[in-house]
């Protein structure tokens, strides 16, 4: 088959990868020189632990397998099975972690409840004052700024892949054919549009009632830490934002101790991942009401710095980068992604939300199976 993939973020790139792996020819079109959206503005987390039970968890577990398998052929992904520690600082937070460790699917997630000494043994960089941590051994990480480029290099080496950057697809021109803003027409046996947070233009024309919203976040990256952060790290505010942690214990925590005002206002949690160069990616916030601000707000960064330093028991290295990003999220929380046939042979796949880096390999595999690749 000849497959046209529009959008070179992580979701589009993984669709191209699955098509080439199955022996097909791919033409991959991207409106920027390379992806610059949420696919590179994230933690690189393969975040299994917090996923909702059922289909979402199954997709995350399958995606983790696929990331690891792909990394055997593409070491430039920077895949590492480092797991994560969600650190708790008081008895109310510990009760939520204990409830999560008691879930029927806790073993599939790799959950274990650790005391403070066990957590520090696993991650010696955590020298702050805390009671314990929820360990998720199934969590992992990749390098978000380089993963797509590494995959693209491997795709180009296949001889069945063409990358066309700097071209915006403007319209579907006929049966399984699209036209770009350079006047080029590209036809194939299947067309997959992975337009990310770009929900206007062609996406709106093809799917006027697209059930997808945009979400804005703020993050930052430090200079190298100077030591190894052996796991990814989260604080207990993460319990408030991921469906796996819903329980009476979480309800009790929320009732007894609301988040600090800045954290509640910006719907914040701490996630902290060490990059290959030793720097730390730290975030994040969640903003749902458009239009979004064009600038970044300093108060969330100050809060995240304080929380991270409290867990590390030391000052953070200097912050080298701050940024905002926008991702697309399916409005139906029960659905992992919005996948819709918008024309004959033309499919729109978008809206994985904050699950894009985690679940894209499995989402793309499902698309390939659905379309009979």
Alpha-carbon distances, residue 141 vs 25, 63, 80, 126, 281 (angstroms):
29, 12, 6, 19, 12
Element (H, E) at 20: helix 10-21
In 157-197, DSSP assigns E strands to 161-165, 169-174, 177-180, 185-187, 190-193
DSSP, collapsed to helix, strand or coil, labels residue 109 as helix
pTM score of the predicted model: 0.96
Bridge partners (DSSP) of residue 169 are 180
CATH code: domain 2-41+145-211+334-370 is: 3.50.50.60
How would you class 182 by CB atoms within 10 Å of its CB: exposed for 0-12, middle for 13-18, buried for 19 or more? exposed
Instruction: CATH 3.30.9.10 in the chain: give the residue spans.
Output: 84-137+212-330
pLDDT tens for the 373 residues of the chain, in order: 999 999 999 999 999 999 999 999 999 999 999 988 999 999 999 999 999 999 999 999 999 999 999 999 999 999 999 999 999 999 999 999 999 999 999 999 999 999 999 999 999 999 999 999 999 999 999 999 999 999 999 999 999 999 999 999 999 998 899 999 999 999 999 999 999 999 999 999 999 999 999 999 999 999 999 999 999 999 999 999 999 999 999 999 999 999 999 999 999 999 999 999 999 999 999 999 999 999 999 999 999 999 999 999 999 999 999 999 999 999 988 899 999 999 999 999 999 999 999 999 999 999 999 999 9
User: What is the rounded distance in angstroms from the CA atom of residue 365 to the CA atom of residue 350?
Assistant: 14
Strands lying side by side in the sheet with 185-187 = 169-174, 177-180, 185-187
User: What is the rounded distance in angstroms from the CA atom of residue 270 to the CA atom of residue 351?
Assistant: 23
Bridge-based pairing state of the strands 232-235 and 84-88? parallel
Element (H, E) at 220: strand 212-222
- Which CATH superfamily is 84-137+212-330 part of? D-Amino Acid Oxidase, subunit A, domain 2 (3.30.9.10)
Instruction: CATH 3.50.50.60 in the chain: give the residue spans.
Output: 2-41+145-211+334-370
Element (H, E) at 235: strand 232-235
Q: Mark 15-26 as b/e (b = at least 16 C-beta within 10 Å).
A: bbbbbbbeebbb
């Amino acid at each position: 088959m000849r497959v046209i993939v529009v959008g070179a973020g992580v979701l589009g790139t993984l669709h191209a990868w699955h098509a080439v792996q199955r022996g097909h020819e791919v033409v991959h079109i991207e409106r920027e020189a390379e992806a610059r959206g949420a696919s590179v503005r994230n933690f690189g987390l393969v975040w299994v632990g917090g996923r909702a039970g059922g289909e979402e968890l199954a997709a995350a577990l399958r995606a983790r397998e696929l990331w690891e398998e792909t990394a055997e052929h593409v070491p430039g992904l920077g895949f590492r099975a480092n797991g994560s520690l969600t650190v708790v600082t008081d008895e109310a937070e510990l009760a939520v972690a204990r409830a999560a460790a008691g879930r029927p699917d806790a073993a599939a997630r790799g959950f274990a409840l650790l005391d403070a000494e066990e957590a520090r043994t696993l991650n010696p960089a955590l020298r702050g004052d805390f009671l314990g941590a929820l360990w998720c051994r199934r969590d992992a990480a990749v390098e978000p700024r380089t993963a797509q480029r590494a995959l693209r290099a491997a795709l180009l080496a296949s001889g069945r892949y063409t990358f066309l950057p700097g071209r915006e697809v403007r319209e579907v021109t006929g049966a399984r054919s699209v036209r770009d803003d350079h006047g080029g027409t590209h036809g194939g046996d299947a067309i997959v549009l992975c337009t990310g947070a770009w929900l206007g233009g062609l996406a709106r024309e093809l799917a006027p009632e697209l059930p997808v919203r945009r979400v804005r976040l703020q993050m930052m990256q430090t200079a190298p830490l100077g030591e190894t952060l052996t796991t990814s790290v989260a604080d207990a505010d993460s319990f408030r934002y991921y469906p796996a942690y819903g329980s009476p214990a979480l309800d009790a925590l929320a009732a007894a101790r609301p988040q600090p005002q800045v954290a509640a206002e910006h719907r914040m949690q701490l996630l902290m991942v060490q990059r290959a160069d030793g720097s730390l990616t730290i975030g994040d916030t969640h903003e749902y009401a458009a239009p979004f601000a064009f600038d970044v707000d300093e108060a969330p960064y100050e809060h995240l710095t304080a929380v991270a330093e409290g867990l590390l028991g030391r000052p953070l290295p200097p912050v080298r980068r701050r940024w905002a990003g926008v991702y697309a999220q399916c409005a139906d929380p029960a659905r992992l992604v919005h996948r819709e046939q918008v024309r004959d042979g033309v499919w729109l796949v978008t809206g994985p939300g904050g699950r894009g880096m985690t679940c894209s390999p499995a989402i793309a595999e499902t698309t390939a199976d659905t379309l009979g690749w």
